[in-house]
Amino acid sequence: MKITKTIGSVNAVTLADILFHKTKRTELFLQLPQDQRIELLGAVTKHVKKEILTHSPDEDLINILEAVGPDEATDMLQLLSRHKREHVLQLLSKDVKDSLSVLLEFDPDTAAGLMTLDYIQVDASDNIANVAKKFRQHEKKTGRPPIILVMRENKLAGFLPGHELGFAAKSELIGKYVKRIPSISYAASHDEVIQLFKAHPHGKVAVLNDANDVLGIIYSDDVLRIMHDQGASSLYDFAGVSAEESVTDGAKTKVKFRYKWLIINLATGFLAAFTVGQFESTISKYVLLAVYMPIVAGMGGNAATQTLAVLVRGIALKQISLGTALKTLKNEVGAGFVNGLLNGFLVAFIVLIKDGDAKIAFILATAMIINLIVAAIFGTMVPLVMQKLGKDPAASATIFITTATDVLGFMAFLGIATLILT
């Protein structure tokens, strides 16, 4: 079932009020027509969606749940408290309640948590007329066209494309029109589902239980939604911000989600400051060094972030692991060295023109080369080590990489300066 990612039909002012005025959010939401309510719920964050659904009257909530597909309705119900969820289930029509009760039994983080029940099962010996009749019955009952799954000896054989119902003769047997459909275990993780769709691009996958009986169908739209959510989560983690944080949250909520990361970064900042403090006498004699210190740290941090972004993407796509990292590490170090030479030459040239100090120019250029190599090494290895330890590489790697480029960059710059200038 497709989840809309944009909210084109909702008035921009109303949308802004719903997102940013927490006290008016549900009231304004309920003023929208049904189609715009559904469209908005498919695009806002879970935090906003949960608040709207929790405070919506039972009648409005039921109308929404019965208008969307079972998979979307299940996702919405899972945002509610257990008490409210059970209360709402009892108010739904029998068919919808039965479908949702089945889906709610499964772990939302598995393949079963992504599936929908919009399918019918027919036998390969059926003719087009009988299948068309079952198709119309399901569509009339649910308001949604089903996938036609074809069975042979009670096992999944494939699916019948819907257009064949209109082109084939009514008396024809459907067996010759059956197409292959991939399948996956109900207990498979979301990552396994994504990998299946990537390896074999198609529009749908059948979900099977341990006895290879059909439980449901996963559409490509649902997989795209999961990939979108995972991508957004990685971006949040990369910045040290919780994926549950929204732009509409108040200051108190934002502090709650961010303060731990900032405290850790503060501690690593003191480590960098301690490193600089060890060269206080050198800096006091050659004040010009202090002017160029931020360049060394900044370039190292930027280079490390570039490497980290490539590695996190490679990890997410299963292109690299700690055991296969040697070639990538060599390439990143080589790129870091060349970039260090280029940027080192440029900064040395500027120092010579501006300050006329050849020694400072040489020190800065050498430190630049060293720090970009450090950035390449730590930007490559830290996320892989974090993944091996079972930690999110995007969330945890940035602190260690920044610390390495700051501390080792300052140590290289000031250490070389101490050797040459004193």
Is the pLDDT higher at 250 or at 150?
150
pLDDT confidence tier of residue 127, bands split at 50, 70 and 90 = very high
Q: Is the pLDDT of residue 173 over 80?
A: yes
pLDDT confidence tier of residue 5, bands split at 50, 70 and 90 = very low
- Range 89-101 average pLDDT: 83
pLDDT in tens, 252-307: 777 776 777 678 778 877 888 888 888 888 888 888 888 888 888 888 888 888 88
Q: Which fold has domain 251-421?
A: Tetracycline Repressor; domain 2 (1.10.357)
Lowest mean per-residue pLDDT among 65-74, 217-226, 235-244: 235-244
- Range 216-237 average pLDDT: 68
Q: Is the pLDDT of residue 369 over 90?
A: yes
The most confident of 82-91, 104-113, 211-220, 361-370, by mean pLDDT: 361-370
Question: Which residue bears the tokens 């930690």?
Answer: 391
- Range 224-250 average pLDDT: 58
For residue 92, give Cα distances in angstroms to 9, 66, 88. 28, 8, 7
pLDDT at 268: 77
* 154 phi/psi in degrees, rounded to 5: 65, 15
* 71 phi/psi in degrees, rounded to 5: -70, -40
Lowest mean per-residue pLDDT among 16-20, 200-204, 245-249: 245-249
Q: Closest Cα partner for 132 from 175, 176, 156, 162?
A: 162
pLDDT at 245: 55
Q: Is the pLDDT of residue 37 over 90?
A: no
- Range 71-84 average pLDDT: 85
pLDDT at 234: 55
| Entry pTM | 0.50
Q: Is the pLDDT of residue 250 over 70?
A: no
Task: Share the mean pLDDT of the chain.
Answer: 82
SS (H, E, C) the chain: CCCCCCCCCCCHHHHHHHHHCHHHHHHHHHCCCHHHHHHHHCCCCHHHHHHHHHHCCHHHHHHHHHHCCHHHHHHHHCCCCHHHHHHHHHHCCHHHHHHHHHHHCCCCCEHHHHCECCEEEEECCCEHHHHHHHHHHHHHHHCCCCEEEEEECCEEEEEECCCHHHHCCCCCEHHHHCECCCEEECCCEHHHHHHHHHHCCCCEEEEECCCCCEEEEEEHHHHHHHHHHHHHHHHHHHCCCCCCCCCCCCHHHHHHHHHHHHHHHHHHHHHHHHHHHCCHHHHHHCCHHHHHHHHHHHHHHHHHHHHHHHHHHHHHCCCCCHHHCHHHHHHHHHHHHHHHHHHHHHHHHHHHHHHCCHHHHHHHHHHHHHHHHHHHHHHHHHHHHHHHCCCCHHHHHHHHHHHHHHHHHHHHHHHHHHHHHC
- Range 1-27 average pLDDT: 62
Is the pLDDT higher at 184 or at 236?
184
pLDDT at 231: 56
pLDDT at 248: 57
Burial environment of residue 293 by CB neighbours within 10 A (0 to 12, 13 to 18, 19 or more)? buried
pLDDT at 115: 86
pLDDT at 6: 44
pLDDT at 392: 64
pLDDT at 9: 60
pLDDT at 1: 36
Both tokens assigned to 365: 């250029």
Lowest mean per-residue pLDDT among 4-8, 160-164, 207-211: 4-8
Kindly compute the dihedral angle of the four CA atoms of residues 377, 380, 384, 389, in this order, to the nearest 10 degrees.
40
**In this structure, are residues 72 and 64 in contact, taking their beta carbons and an 8 Å threshold?**
no
Lowest mean per-residue pLDDT among 17-21, 34-38, 165-169: 17-21
pLDDT at 3: 36
Q: Top-level CATH class of 12-105?
A: mainly alpha
pLDDT in tens, 180-205: 888 999 888 888 888 888 777 767 88
Q: Is the pLDDT of residue 28 over 80?
A: yes
Amino acid symbol at 103: L
Long-range pairs of 82-87 with CB within 8 A, sequence gap ≥ 24: 84/54, 87/58
Indicate the CATH number of 114-230 among 3.40.50.720, 3.40.630.10, 3.10.580.10, 3.40.1370.10.
Answer: 3.10.580.10
**pLDDT above 70 coverage of the chain, percent:** 86
Amino acid symbol at 193: V
Gyration radius of the chain over CA positions: 29
Question: Would you list the domain boundaries of the chain?
Answer: 12-105, 114-230, 251-421
pLDDT at 243: 53
pLDDT confidence tier of residue 383, bands split at 50, 70 and 90 = confident
pLDDT at 249: 61
